[in-house]
Structure 1
């Protein structure tokens, strides 16, 4: 009988204001910690990040095996489709495994989705576990439409193409009253917010949600016009190199 593929949520970053165990408890349920601790095979976006997460788990729930004996296979954007069956081979042999992202929940804005699809095709049970999702937390806290929203991932880095894409999505947002979500490489946060403020109509509401679940968390929603004025005055959010989710809703 095949093993189970558990979709294990990771933290959204390290909260250094409290102890590791206390920080973990605020975002990862105890039952999820205990289940993670008993696994000895993980498929991870980043092995180093996963080892750091397992050290946090070990501080709260002793791992079933020493960390150096736990197998971690990497699955990232560079992993070829032909390599996926080998990642599931231990599960087909009866071993349980955990799929874990670099941050937040796996298989959402994450290369793990293809592995989950293959697991279903091969008759492997897939079990999602409860944990933090920056996208849903951002929707919840934005004050924008939570009945209809779309995640668009990364927009083009070329300024002209990015502007056109923003305007197209703003039109869709206005017509359907649909909240649009985006993420960006953290070191490009300032440029991305400027692009949103400049491309959107003055009354479009823009939310910037940074460092969700952390002590440095910041969430702010205001019109594009207000963002544009703040940026022109040199008042940028404190989000340089910090994970940030962007949302807008056209009025």
Structure 2
């Protein structure tokens, strides 16, 4: 796919499988065969994928630790007429993965950036969740530290759009517990685990029911997760969600009963629902 010396190359942003290798599209295979090189988050992982399809295109590492330093060199190759592909370890690049700095640098240099669409765990989970998908917000991975995670969830409690999160196996139980505290036990949600892989499961129910299933089955604490949570619904739901958010902020500085009383006065949410709604009363 090398261009003439006076022509600029193309940067192809190529989606790769999130599990099932058969999901690599024929077009993606053709692009990966024909480009001059592939910018990969982990070259070892990508070489395994390429070998499966008999593709021997050279791969170079481009990840969060070297993207700033490497972007200029990659753009220089594109300006010299080479065409390159950008892939992540799984799914669509730039979605909770490196690459936006390179794409931005390429566009600023006048390079054509062309998407090769394909798998995305966000869209895959939404497509099977059975929750409203006409409007949603993708939050990626929540903070690893509990206090920061709870603060983010508290801010999202009144969000009316469907919420989509990524989560890891060693934090999924804690995250579901924090979601219950922020959104309430009864908020509908879906837990999509190991999508397109051998042990794929998609569980639905209230947040309380999902946490009970995860706590009861060690297998449901293994693998990679997408958590889809229904947004705050009608005015009463939104009011309660806002009350819980304010309660959590106040409870960090005040006794729980005082925090609940003030949060109820500020938001109009029922005081008993705040004080007994899954918040930590210690």
Question: What range is the shorter-chain TM-score in?
Answer: 0.7 to 0.9
- Could you tell me how far apart the structure 2 residues matched to 1:160 and 1:35 are? 44
Q: Which one is further off, 28-37 or 110-119?
A: 28-37
Give 1:45 deviation, angstroms: 0.8
Within 5 Å, give how 1:211-222 maps onto structure 2: 211-222=194-205
Give 1:239 deviation, angstroms: 3.8
Task: Tell me, yes or no, if structure 1 residue 247 matches structure 2 residue 231.
Answer: no
- Could you tell me how far apart the structure 1 residues matched to 2:86 and 2:156 are? 32
Equivalent of 2:12, from 6, 20, 24?
Answer: 6
Question: Where do 4+ consecutive residues of structure 1 move more than 3 Å?
Answer: 228-231
TM-score for the superposition, normalised by structure 1: 0.82
Do the aligned residues in 1 keep the contact of 2:157 with 2:182 (CA within 8 Å)?
no
- Could you tell me how far apart the structure 2 residues matched to 1:117 and 1:186 are? 32
Task: Tell me, yes or no, if structure 1 residue 35 matches structure 2 residue 22.
Answer: no
Q: Give the 3-state SS of the residue equivalent to 1:53 in structure 2.
A: helix
Structure 2's unaligned 5+ residue stretches are: 1-6, 234-282
Equivalent of 1:49, from 41, 45, 49?
Answer: 45
- Could you tell me how far apart the structure 2 residues matched to 1:229 and 1:105 are? 32
Equivalent of 2:138, from 151, 174, 184?
Answer: 151
Q: Give the 3-state SS of the residue equivalent to 1:203 in structure 2.
A: coil
Structure 1's unaligned 5+ residue stretches are: 16-23
Give 1:237 deviation, angstroms: 6.6
Asked which structure has the greater CA Rg, the reply is: 2
Greater RCO (Cα-Cα under 8 Å, separation 6 or more) = 1
Do the aligned residues in 1 keep the contact of 2:67 with 2:98 (CA within 8 Å)?
no
TM-score for the superposition, normalised by structure 2: 0.74
- Could you tell me how far apart the structure 1 residues matched to 2:121 and 2:144 are? 22
Task: Tell me, yes or no, if structure 1 residue 102 matches structure 2 residue 63.
Answer: no
* Aligned pairs, number: 226
- Could you tell me how far apart the structure 1 residues matched to 2:50 and 2:69 are? 28
